[in-house]
Amino acid sequence: MSVFTVLVDKYKRREALSVSYDRRASIVTCMVLIVEIALVIACLFQMRLLVISDNGLHLKSVIATWPSPLLWVPLVLLCIITEIAFFMAPRSIKLDDNSIYINSTNWFRRLPFAKIEKIERYYEEQIAADRPLLCSYGFMGYWGRYRSSQFGIYHACYGDCLQCLVITMYDGRHYVIGCKDPEALLTQLNIIR
């Protein structure tokens, strides 16, 4: 087997295990970011730092007045939510010889194979029946806590509800993860385990 073949296989495996977002998650993310940008522009206008003149739109370099709390409080809250979402958003799934790693921008969760009871597909109809508890509602993917009628509270970390697997641990915890090719992930997990 050539080095090129090994690299192509590694790239295909990595691409299959990355997280892709569905249409709803993409729309929710774009809308929140547009509202955040609009609030920033409104604050700049109210602070009189951004002015429209005959020469066009430009920034003034003067001492500004503080904007109204009706503008900056939602802006601060949206910035905090965006930062949390950026660090919590699902990015990829990685495998080694004895663990699954759920990767995000700033953190990862390790699930050792020795503690996993079973891994199976989790379909869109099942996810649609679940109730969100503390979650992102599609902002930068689906992550957080949900309640399922099948197995109770679980941790979710996926981008598209058509590409999910549920991992059941021996201690009763459940994780719903997703990647671009869940069948390939399930096959690799069955080969490794």
pLDDT in tens, 117-165: 888 888 877 777 777 777 777 788 888 888 888 888 888 888 887 888 8
CB 147 within 8 A of CB 134: no
- Res. 78: pLDDT tops 70: yes
Query: What are the beta bridge partners of residue 95?
Result: 100
Alpha-helical (H) ranges within the chain are 3-16, 23-46, 69-88, 124-128, 182-192
- The token pair that represents 15 in the structure block: 């691409």
Residues contacting 44, CB < 8 A, separation 6+: 50, 59
Percentage of residues in the chain having pLDDT higher than 90: 1
